[in-house]
Structure 1
Amino acid sequence: MNLPSYIDHTLLSPTARETDIRKLCEEAWIHQFKAVCVAPTYVGYTKEMMEFCPVRIEIATVIGFPLGYSTTATKMAEAGNALADGATELDVVMNMSHFKSMAYLSVREELKGLAELAHINNAILKVIIETAYLDSFDLYTACEICAEAKVDFVKTSTGFAPQGAEIETVRKMRSILPAHIKIKASGGIRSYEQAIAFIQAGADRIGTSAGVSIIAGV
Structure 2
Amino acid sequence: MTELSHYIDHTLLSPTASETDIRKLCEEAWIHQFKGVCVAPGYVGYTVEMFEFCPVKIGIATVIGFPLGYSTTETKLFEARNALVNGATELDVVMNVSRFKSMAYLSIREELRQLAEIAHAGNALLKVIIETAYLDSFELYTACEICAESKVDFVKTSTGFAPKGAEIETVKKMRAILPAEIKIKASGGIKTREQAIAFIEAGADRIGTSSGVAIVTGQ
If the TM-score is normalised by the length of the shorter chain, which range does it land in?
over 0.9
Distance (whole Å) between structure 1 residues aligned to residue 53 and residue 30 of structure 2: 9
Task: Give the C-alpha shift of residue 52 in structure 1.
Answer: 1.7
SS at match of 2:107: helix
For 1:152, give the aligned amino acid.
Answer: D
- Superposed counterparts of 1:4-19, under 5 Å: 4-19=5-20
Distance (whole Å) between structure 2 residues aligned to residue 177 and residue 21 of structure 1: 33
Distance (whole Å) between structure 2 residues aligned to residue 217 and residue 201 of structure 1: 21
Task: Give the C-alpha shift of residue 217 in structure 1.
Answer: 2.0
What residue in structure 2 maps to residue 156 of structure 1?
157
Task: Give the C-alpha shift of residue 136 in structure 1.
Answer: 0.2
SS at match of 2:34: coil
What residue in structure 2 maps to residue 109 of structure 1?
110
Do structure 1's residue 135 and structure 2's residue 127 form an aligned pair? no
Do structure 1's residue 176 and structure 2's residue 177 form an aligned pair? yes
Task: Give the C-alpha shift of residue 54 in structure 1.
Answer: 1.0
What residue in structure 2 maps to residue 85 of structure 1?
86
Runs of 4 or more, structure 1, over 6 Å off, are none
Distance (whole Å) between structure 1 residues aligned to residue 76 and residue 117 of structure 2: 13
Give the unaligned 5+ runs of structure 2: none
If the length of structure 2 is used for normalisation, what is the TM-score? Answer: 0.99
Distance (whole Å) between structure 2 residues aligned to residue 194 and residue 131 of structure 1: 18
SS at match of 1:15: coil
Task: Give the C-alpha shift of residue 162 in structure 1.
Answer: 0.1
Give the unaligned 5+ runs of structure 1: none
Could you give the per-residue CA deviations for residues 31-70 of structure 1, whole angstroms, max 9, x where no partner exists?
0000000000000000011102111100000000000010
For 1:21, give the aligned amino acid.
Answer: I
Do structure 1's residue 207 and structure 2's residue 203 form an aligned pair? no
Among the aligned pairs, what percent are the same residue? 82
Distance (whole Å) between structure 2 residues aligned to residue 150 and residue 52 of structure 1: 32
Over aligned residue pairs, what C-alpha RMSD do you find? 0.7
For 1:204, give the aligned amino acid.
Answer: D
Distance (whole Å) between structure 2 residues aligned to residue 105 and residue 116 of structure 1: 16
Distance (whole Å) between structure 1 residues aligned to residue 102 and residue 85 of structure 2: 33
For 1:39, give the aligned amino acid.
Answer: A
For 1:148, give the aligned amino acid.
Answer: E
Could you give the per-residue CA deviations for residues 4-44 of structure 1, whole angstroms, max 9, x where no partner exists?
00000000000000000000000000000000000000000
Could you give the per-residue CA deviations for residues 73-106 of structure 1, whole angstroms, max 9, x where no partner exists?
0000001000000000000000001000000000
SS at match of 1:14: coil
For 2:175, give the aligned amino acid.
Answer: R
Distance (whole Å) between structure 1 residues aligned to residue 181 and residue 11 of structure 2: 24
For 1:105, give the aligned amino acid.
Answer: L
- Superposed counterparts of 1:26-41, under 5 Å: 26-41=27-42
Could you give the per-residue CA deviations for residues 169-215 of structure 1, whole angstroms, max 9, x where no partner exists?
00000000000000000000000000000000000000000000000
SS at match of 2:77: helix
Distance (whole Å) between structure 2 residues aligned to residue 133 and residue 60 of structure 1: 24
